[in-house]
Structure 1
Amino acid sequence: MSNCVLVVLGKDGWSVTYTTLSICALKGSTVNISCSYTYPSNHEIKTAFWFTKWESGMDPEDLSSVPGYEGHIEYLGDKKSDCTLRITNLRLSDSAGYRFRLITSGDKIAGSPVSLTVTDVVLEMNPTSVSEGEGVTLTCRTKCTLDPITAYSWYKNGQPITNTNTYSPVYSLFSVSSEDTGRYFCAVKGHEDLPSAEETLTVTYGSRNTSVSVSPSGVIVEGSSVTLTCSSDANPPVDKYTWYKKNVASPKASGQSYSITNIISEDSGEYYCEAENKIAS
């Protein structure tokens, strides 16, 4: 936080001092709005509280009595000089200007507002679907600047990603492979219990590791039947299978499985399949 800021209220003997006039904090965390005050020694304090809304012609409402704030805020101050306010389990809706109100036997005054901005952590992935060899940029964002300078933690499928520049909000994958497919999220160092939502990276690639299985296996006799099944790794999945017999130019069949029934000697030979998806064959 910045150095102490003295806010003088324009009356002799009155002052309010904050450690900062602007606070950026993470959703779900706890923040203390540090504050101290002075007032004329011949006055007696009647009440001291914080508020966010003050309509013209009406007294401001103590936040502790506003529905939804019970157990959410805590006045840590006293009736001497401390006016610190604690807000726990911060919500995005807690973003507001917070003002301290002091009522004494001789007067009533209000301090200047302290601006609180509550931010969540957002992971932006660009793009979310790529072909192998392309690049992806992941950016961990907050809508205000956390103080002090923030470091980041990166995760894939729930596990920490090592060897990353933790002081940069950007994590780059320069040439992705299928192994980079997964669910990613980020968090601010020290607040790993308050991570971003997950983003899923999809890596597409053409068919590979194509193989053929035979059923039944072993020696095939004339008059029997056999089924050949083609399998291949691809993303998106293979949508076209074509069967060939070695040294025969024209395809024999299509589909993932190819059945040969009532086998004769001319069916003998080597068979192979070609697998294709929308990326490549």
Structure 2
Amino acid sequence: MSLRTAGSVLVVFLWSVTVVLGQDDWSVSYTTQSICTFKESTVELSSSYTYPSGYTVTTTFWFTKYNAEGPVSLSDDPDYKGRVTYSKNKENGHTLTITDLRESDSARYKFRFTDQTGKWRYTGEPGVALSVTGLQVKLTVGFWYNTLTCSTTCTLPDNPTYIWYKNGHKEKEDTSSSYPDSFSDVDSYSCAVKGHEDLLSPAVCVRGQNCWSVTYPHQGVCALKGSTVDISSTYDSGDATITSSHWFSSKQSSSWKDELVPEDLTTDPGYAGRVEYVGEKESGRSTLRITDLREEDSAEYKFIFNTQTSGWGYSFPGTTLTVTGLQVKVTGKTLTCSTTCTLTDNPTYIWYKNGHKVKEDTSSLYSDSFSDTDRYSCAVKGHEDLHSLAVCECGLLNTIFLQIKCCFRL
């Protein structure tokens, strides 16, 4: 299964700090000095730099670590593999984008640039302090009431509004992170921040350990068109007896008999013969398997169980599936095996030239001197039968006649 986090983007602009390094004409400034953002979200860090006339900057990168040779570019750091991109603009602005954030990404990020001689090297100090946090529900026991707190490890900006879920159903919204109330023994609670509802906390029991819950190990999945995907969940009904359970997608709600009652995905004609449930129900696990994936299968999928008294969890965020094909894009002398979402698990890309395998690489980029008449396609290792359409290097040709000659073998 390929994983992609379909999480939110949280970019914070607090204040600008300019740091002059060595001489007045050499400087680096950061748009913000510190950022607190969510685990599994995407963040952007921005900087700009100046240098004296007569010099040419040839190397720019962001880093958090050093090795024996000096700072290590994030694009070369295995901890950030496939999650980092750099972008530049004409005004010497430089933006770092990190996707699928992890709590281990919490660090101080610095920008560094080097001139053409390699002798002038400058690092912007103090950099940007990034703190990555998850949400956690904490319980404080009181005499009359208990209080739940939606807790983070750093202070979120912009006075967020907190959303509380009870047994998977939205219960309340409040600008306060605290929720005092009298709580039932079997109820479980989770919280999220408005605007980032897909990044909610794990559900916790208010009393004891056997309350109702449904959790998904992945909030987002990116899978190849034509492949098979497994979407899993774990659940706990406490002491209640489960009478039925199934998976569903809210995208199909227009065809439900009752729009408030989710219908079993296995009964949907659009998934006929392509959906099955695997896993051991007695262990509190259920996995939805969809075969022969189509782009129209891109949707949010959820698991629900019913007891003798009620249903659980269908308003909770589930797992969002994005189905993508492969496409070869041409930029100058570089080919890119492109997808509409980010494949994780560090996929290996396979390149084909005129139908013959020529290269395997963990990078989706392929740079070389290409012949005008050769055709190229790509695939992902383990899914070699799902390769992209073949393209020729028409992007390198400068006349319409030569492009037609290449692509149509004239």
Q: Does TM-score exceed 0.5, indicating one fold?
A: yes
Pairing of 1:1-281 with structure 2 (within 5 A): 1-54=13-66, 58-78=69-89, 81-106=92-117, 107-112=120-125, 113-127=127-141, 134-162=144-172, 164=173, 166-173=174-181, 175-176=182-183, 178=184, 181-202=186-207
The number of equivalent residue pairs is 194
Output the CA distance in 1 between the equivalents of 2:98 and 2:130. 11
SS at structure 2 position matched to 1:68: helix
Question: Aligned partners of 2:53, 2:157: CA distance in 1, in Å?
Answer: 36
Secondary structure of the residue that 1:12 maps to in structure 2?
coil
SS at match of 2:109: strand
Give, in whole Å, the separation in 1 of the partners of 2:156 and 2:170.
22
CA RMSD of aligned residues (A): 2.2
Shift of 1:75: 0.8
CA distance in 1, matches of 2:98, 2:55: 29
Kept in 2: contact 1:4–1:19 (CA 8 A): yes
Q: Deviations over 1:176-197 (max 9, x none)?
A: 4x4x741100011111101111
8 Å contact 1:36–1:83 — kept in the other structure?
yes
State the distance in 1 between where 2:179 and 2:138 align: 10
CA distance in 1, matches of 2:178, 2:78: 40
Q: How far, CA to CA, are the matches of 2:145 and 2:159 in structure 1?
A: 27
Q: Counterparts of 2:207 and 2:73 in 1: how far apart (Å)?
A: 51
Distance in 2, Cα, partners of 1:21 & 1:196 = 27
Q: CA deviation at 1:80?
A: 5.0
- Distance in 2 between the 1:21 and 1:53 partners? 18
Task: Give the whole-Å Cα distance in 1 for the aligned partners of 2:90 and 2:81.
Answer: 21
SS of 2:80's partner is: coil
Contact 2:29 2:124 (C-alpha < 8 Å) held by counterparts: no
TM-score (normalizing by structure 2): 0.45
Larger-gyration structure (1/2)? 1
After TM superposition, the score normalised by the length of structure 1 is 0.64
Distance 2:207 2:24 in 1: 66
Q: Identity across aligned pairs (percent)? A: 45
Give the aligned residue type for 2:75: S
Task: State the 4+ residue runs in structure 1 displaced beyond 6 angstroms.
Answer: none
Q: Equivalents in 1 of 2:24, 2:18: separation in Å?
A: 14
Return 5+ residue gaps in structure 2 as ranges.
1-12, 209-238, 240-410
In the TM superposition, residue 31 of structure 1 has moved relative to its aligned partner by 0.8
Deviation for aligned residue 1:149: 1.8
Q: Distance in 1 between matches of 2:148 and 2:166?
A: 12
Partners of 2:44 and 2:187 lie apart in 1 by 38
Structure 1 contact 77–85 (Cα < 8 Å) conserved: no
Tell me the SS of whatever aligns to 2:104. Answer: helix
- Which residue number corresponds to residue 209 of structure 1? none
Preserved contact between residue 125 and residue 199 of structure 1 (Cα < 8 Å)? no
**Distance in 2 of aligned mates of 1:52 and 1:79:** 25
Please give the secondary structure, in 2, of the residue aligned with 1:61.
Answer: strand
CA distance in 1, matches of 2:90, 2:23: 19
User: In structure 1, what residue type is equivalent to 2:133?
Assistant: T
Question: Structure 2 counterpart of 1:135, which letter?
Answer: Y
**Contact 1:45–1:79 at 8 Å: present in 2 too?**
no
Hey, what's the Cα distance between the residues in 2 that align with 1:101 and 1:64?
13
Q: Deviations over 1:98-131 (max 9, x none)?
A: 111101125111111211111111111234xx9x
Q: Deviations over 1:60-111 (max 9, x none)?
A: 1111011131221111225750111111111001011111110112511111
